A and B are shown apart, each in its own frame.
Chain A
Amino acid sequence: MNCEKVIGQFSAYLDGQLTVAEREAVRSHIADCARCREELDALARTVYAVADLPRLRAPADLRDQVMSNLDRAAPAEAHQPRWRMYWGAAAAVGFAVVIMLLTRQATPRRAGPEAVALAGKNAETGEVALAERGGSGGAKGADEKLLRKAANVEPIGGTADSLKASQLEATPVATVSSGQIVAIAPVSSEQIVLPSANPRAAYFNAVRVAAKGGWLPAELQKRAADGELLKSADAEQRAHQDQVLQLAFSLKRSQVPALRNALAVAGLQAAEEKNDRGEEAQPTNEGVPSLAFAPARRDLDSASNVAPAESHFGFKDRSAAANPATAAANAPARAAMKAPEGAAGAEAAAPRQSMALAQKKAGPAEAATPQQAQKAEAAEEPLVQVTLLFPLAESPVPAAAPAAGAANSGTPE
């Protein structure tokens, strides 16, 4: 593939919208082409910067405004002109009645025609007055109120919308689990495996991102703010050098891309750092802002080590999960459901095998999950279980030898 064509794929690449073959083509190209790598870097940075914009709440009285106008909103179209017309007519009639009453008192006989003439005249002025004061003018008054409210809108902040700890559906935990995990994307969950060029840096970033987003539970949030969580990464890393640091929490589905984008940049930087250190970039997953990918094949077997812990994720669509990279990157159930047919090619054979293992382990807890997954789908915006996986070892440890021997030798920084 030439550069132009590769660059043309970048946007879809970041969104996980490429097929396995396309994705691999992009990866192998950017592994060799510094210019395209920079281009992708810049694009990812851009996407992240947009996703990082703060979210604001709608003005507090927006709903009231809508509801109060609802009464006047005729079920038919073109409500405002008609509404004005009605008021104009009503004013005219009212005015006519008043005139009739007055004139009847004075000169009953001539009341009729005169009243009608007056009414007609005043119907016009009445409408104009209404239009200025009541009609659009009234709306303007309301608008001003809205404007004031809007100026004081409370920023929600964070990197994704409505990020509040209270919205988290599950209790997030930072745990260390053994082994490398295959990225699995069942319908209601998403796992993001960070590029592990510099796992510690990636972890730091993820913690920062998560803390900023308010995704962490209060206690972790505080520890993160104090930098303690970051420090503890060192200790945990030492204690579990061959393992995966895992940070799990739930997000609304719409919040996932923001996180993913943020982490993409984190991954890129980790990769850059690695390159800066003069290490040779591996033509595999590393050094590439791949946000969710299957780890090297030799790690797949160890997926079963951790499968039980993940079993609550509700494995609904197995074949989609067998193509973890695409499915995980796509997150939405829709994508996961569409994925199965062609996407899982020969390449996915190994992941599928590991999934089979994972399924076996997941078996017992599985019974409850389809229901759960369905309920989650029924909700307007399903929550997504996000698990960030940080392979702490520079090089993944074979499942057969999970001992400390193969551990990474020292911290990268």
Chain B
Amino acid sequence: MSEASAELRLNEAAVKRTDADLATASSAGDPAAFGELVLRHQDRAFNLALRLTGSPEDAADAVQEAFLKAYRGMPSFRRQSSFYTWLFRILVNEVRSRRRSGSARVLSFSLDAAGGRSAERGDPAEGPAGLQSNGPDPSEQASLAERRQIVEEALQSLEFDQRAIIALRDIEGRDYAEIAEVLGCPQGTVKSRLHRARMALKDVLAPKLGPAPQ
């Protein structure tokens, strides 16, 4: 498997233009190159915005605006950072400023559908809660959707910066250095802020999620 996949990867790398290439091309006035960048990053950007805003509508707005700002600011894009971190920095600031301008909304959407979907068919990974059950347990499925809803709400109850750092780390899976770049703070700060944010979330969540499933 390794050889075939290595070859595949090599070919892909040869054909694929890097983000940096695309950024250069789009700042030189190639909208198609920018379109490719949008395509590459829109899902992640949308998911981050979703966790930050708590609303798909606001998330889509913010992402769209962030991309436009990125396009306009492309000439100022420094190549030291990746396009990803640069875009996300713009996005986080965009969401933040939108909130300030008073358009903040209360969390109003539910991901029940998503939870229900992945929970069907016995949900082979009901998470650790499913440790001992092999078969589908309706109450468990319901509780998965519920649990996600609780987590969503708890996340939204945090301060914006705490939410942002948790989303970047635990949803986006970015490392401390990248988070530092996105948030524009030192790595050490990321570490302490992340800890505080997670502890805050834990304090909200722990009583709601109950004790460890047996």
A-side interface residues toward B, CB under 8 Å?
7-8, 10-12, 15, 17, 41-43, 45-59, 62-63, 65-67, 69-71, 73-77, 79, 143, 146-147, 149-151, 153, 155-162, 169-171, 173, 201, 204-205, 207-213, 224-225, 227, 230, 250, 253-258, 261-262, 265-266, 268-269, 272, 312, 330-332, 334-335, 365, 368-369, 371-372, 375-376, 378-381, 383
Contacts and interface: CB of A to CB of B under 8 A. Distances in A.
Contacts of B114: 54, 56, 155, 157
Contacts of A371: 10
Nearest to A213: B125
A53 B202 contact: no
A277 to B, nearest CB: 13
Contacts of A376: 9
A372 B177 contact: no
B128 A170 contact: no
Nearest to A142: B64
B86 interface: no
Q: Which 8 A-B pairs have the closest CB atoms?
A: A212-B125, A312-B2, A208-B125, A155-B114, A150-B56, A254-B173, A11-B195, A58-B46
Interface residues of B, number: 87
28 contacts: A43-B199, A45-B209, A46-B201, A49-B209, A50-B170, A50-B201, A53-B111, A53-B148, A55-B47, A55-B171, A67-B31, A67-B35, A69-B64, A70-B68, A73-B71, A75-B75, A150-B57, A156-B43, A157-B117, A158-B118, A170-B2, A205-B125, A212-B127, A213-B125, A258-B170, A312-B2, A331-B175, A376-B9
Contacts of B96: none
Of B1, B130, B209, chain A has the most CB atoms within 10 Å of the CB of B1
A71 B82 CA distance: 25
Given A58-B46, A171-B1, A269 B51 contact: no
B34 to A, nearest CB: 7
A204 B131 contact: yes
Of B56, B121, B134, chain A has the most CB atoms within 10 Å of the CB of B56
A147 B151 contact: no
A67 B38 contact: yes
Contacts of A160: 173
A383 B166 CA distance: 22
Given A45-B206, A161-B173, A312-B3, 16 more contacts: A10-B195, A46-B206, A54-B115, A66-B68, A70-B31, A73-B71, A146-B64, A150-B59, A155-B118, A161-B172, A212-B126, A253-B173, A368-B6, A376-B9, A378-B13, A383-B9
Nearest to A257: B173
A272 B46 contact: no
Contacts of A204: 131
B16 interface: yes
Interface of B: 1-3, 5-6, 8-10, 12-13, 16, 18-19, 31, 34-35, 38-40, 42-47, 50-51, 56-57, 59-61, 63-64, 67-68, 71-72, 75, 82-84, 111, 113-115, 117-118, 121-128, 130-131, 134-135, 147-148, 151-152, 155, 166, 169-177, 191, 194-195, 198-199, 201-202, 205-206, 209, 212-213
Of B50, B113, B173, B195, chain A has the most CB atoms within 10 Å of the CB of B173
A61 to B, nearest CB: 9
B134 to A, nearest CB: 5
B186 to A, nearest CB: 14
Contacts of A266: 128, 131
A331 to B, nearest CB: 8
Given A53-B111, A67-B35, A375 B9 contact: yes
Of B6, B34, B169, B199, chain A has the most CB atoms within 10 Å of the CB of B6
Nearest to B207: A42
A210 B206 contact: no
A161 B47 contact: yes
A50 B166 contact: yes
A66 B38 contact: yes
B128 A205 contact: yes
Of B19, B43, B148, chain A has the most CB atoms within 10 Å of the CB of B43
B111 A62 contact: no
A51 B170 contact: yes
Contact of B60 (A59, A161, A209): A59
Nearest to A310: B2
B171 A161 contact: yes
B144 to A, nearest CB: 9
Given A46-B202, A65-B64, A334-B175, A379 B12 contact: yes
Contacts of B42: 58, 62-63
Contacts of A17: 176, 191
B124 A207 contact: yes
B212 A49 contact: no
Contacts of B75: 75
A372 B16 contact: no
